[in-house]
A and B are shown apart, each in its own frame.
Chain A
Amino acid sequence: MSRFLAATGVLGAVVALAVLGGHVAPRDPSAVVGPPYSAPGETGLLGTDGLGRDVLSRVLAGGSDLVLVSLLAALAATTIGVAGGLLTGWSDGWTARSLISAADVLLAVPQLLIALVAAVAMPGPAAVVIATVCGGSPLTLRVVRDATRLTRGAGFVEAARCRGERGPVLLTREVLPSLTGLVTADAGMRFVMAIQLASALSLLGFGAQPPEADWALMIRENLPGSGLNAAGVLAPALVLAAVAGAAAATAAHAGRRTNTGRLA
């Protein structure tokens, strides 16, 4: 349990830092404050980047868009996936079967391609949401469908059916609450997926654009100067790793707690 608390704590702290960091940044993230690639300590705590901007301030300011967009993408992918999973797990009709086939095809299209093409046609954040939904909700759908199948004949569902409850109510009031842990874990993994996609897009030049402060973009910009000020690369890399890693560890724990029952 303590490890779970540790992972959740790290996750909460980094997300809070990412969202609110811009307000506590010691300097203006886009102002030139010193010579390019100053080593940590010379100018500011983490030195400066290639244009002489303060790395610490840019790290503090560079996470809010990334994290908020990823949260939104995870929410969208999970909602669509859960709805599809409940539907396909509950009924065996024509709609359910075609939904499953569509999910299979979506899974075979390279997700990065969806993201790249979407990023050319629309702004970066929208591309991240769309690619996460296309690549993530089919996975959610599969997991939720299998779990819903198992609850169809469960005692608490039968009891509700005998009370006279009908399909939609049964699904939202009886089945869905029993899947809380599973869905939480899944949402965590979709968040990780969105973070990975968003950072890849920014690195490839299709996401955040200069002079924006963005963790992945900072990595791209500061990589050539990593011999002069490695903190310019390592600091944003570390916070990105912390957000994704803590989210995954929390999700793994939430998933295991449900999997100890019959749903394993």
Chain B
Amino acid sequence: MTGVLPRACARAALVLFAVAAGVFLLTDVLPGDAVLARTRGGAGAAELARLRAESGMDGPIWERFARWGWSLLHGDAGTSLLSDRPVSTLVGERLPATLTLAACALAVTVPLLLVLSWWAGGLAARSYGGGILAAAAAIPQVVVAAAAVAVFSGLLGWLPGVSLLPIGAPPWHEPALLVLPALSLALPSAAYGAGLLSGSVADVRTLPHVGDAILRGVPRWRIATRHALPLLWAPAIRVVAVIAGGLIAATTVVETVFGYTGLGELLVSSVAARDVPVVQAVALLGAVVVVTGGVLADVLRGVRA
């Protein structure tokens, strides 16, 4: 255990720094800049150059990166080019919606993932379970979300097909709005996670004490929860960490399909509007989630080893 956590954190900090640089470089490629966006085409070339010099935007890229990183470390993510509001406020407004959605999705994903991996790790399904899970996990998020809308909202009319959040109310105010988005997030990630976990499940299911319990006639659900699950916690948490990182990208698509105003929707609209500071902040937030999940997984592996 000694040294696992510090080493993982140091590695994560290095990767995050590199990612921040990567995100900054990437968004720097976006055509147009802050000055161009603010003046909205109403300034000549000389005026633009003067404004750029004033705000320090004509400096070399490493200088601008350093200034951005420095203010970010002080909790200042800049100002939106579009609305002139602080980026932290914009992100703060959207964060509860996305967190609620992600939490609901995970609450469905985890039990489903455990059941699916139990099935795929069994003797009966070993030859084809992996292929079926791989095929299910490969179905694009777009398809799952669209099929959910077309069937449950369009054909059956049971649930709303768009999830427009009421303004001023918390996202959990109307749970019916969350059902379809959460389900369409959960299904592919459960299949993906089950594919990752089924190997460990297969190993656990061939252990002597499990086979012994089967011979003694212990009920199957009891074998699963009492004899197998305690050995599966470490790999399962690792898989959930991987899935949580992937949810960020998936939620962008789902939020757009359902018109759900979360962070993913903010990312897409900001990229479309070339609102660079907002894009940088949201993208970095996504990377922090991915890297944190990685650290968690590394530490758990270290603990088990």
Contact = CB atoms under 8 A, between A and B. Distances in A.
B297 interface: no
A116 B274 CA distance: 11
Interface string B10-44: 00000110110011001101110000000000000
A144 interface: no
Interface stretch (B60-68, B85-93, B284-292): B284-292
B6 interface: no
Interface stretch (A21-29, A78-86, A240-248): A240-248
B31 A230 contact: no
Interface in B258-282: 267-268, 271-272, 274, 279
- Secondary structure at the B interface, as helix, strand, loop or mixed, is helix
Contacts of A237: 142-143, 146-147, 150
Contacts of A246: 135
A205 B272 contact: yes
Interface stretch (B69-77, B103-111, B246-254): B246-254
B134 interface: yes
Interface in A213-264: 216, 219, 223, 226-228, 230, 233-234, 237, 240-241, 244-249, 251-253, 256
Nearest to A3: B128
A233 B253 contact: no
Nearest to B264: A112
Nearest to B288: A108
* Chief secondary structure at chain A's binding surface: helix
Contacts of B257: 203, 223
A241 B134 contact: no
Contact of A116 (B161, B268, B287): B268
A111 interface: yes
A246 B135 CA distance: 6
Contacts of A195: 140
A252 B26 CA distance: 34
Given A204-B252, A237-B150, A249-B131, A120 B30 contact: yes
24 contacts: A104-B15, A105-B15, A109-B26, A112-B252, A113-B279, A199-B143, A200-B253, A202-B142, A204-B253, A204-B268, A205-B272, A219-B143, A223-B149, A223-B150, A226-B150, A226-B155, A226-B161, A227-B155, A237-B150, A244-B143, A245-B135, A245-B139, A249-B131, A249-B138
Give the 8 A-B CB pairs with smallest separation, nearest first: A226-B154, A248-B138, A245-B135, A252-B134, A233-B150, A105-B18, A226-B150, A244-B138
Interface of A: 3, 7, 104-106, 108-114, 116-117, 120-121, 192, 195-196, 199-200, 202-206, 216, 219, 223, 226-228, 230, 233-234, 237, 240-241, 244-249, 251-253, 256
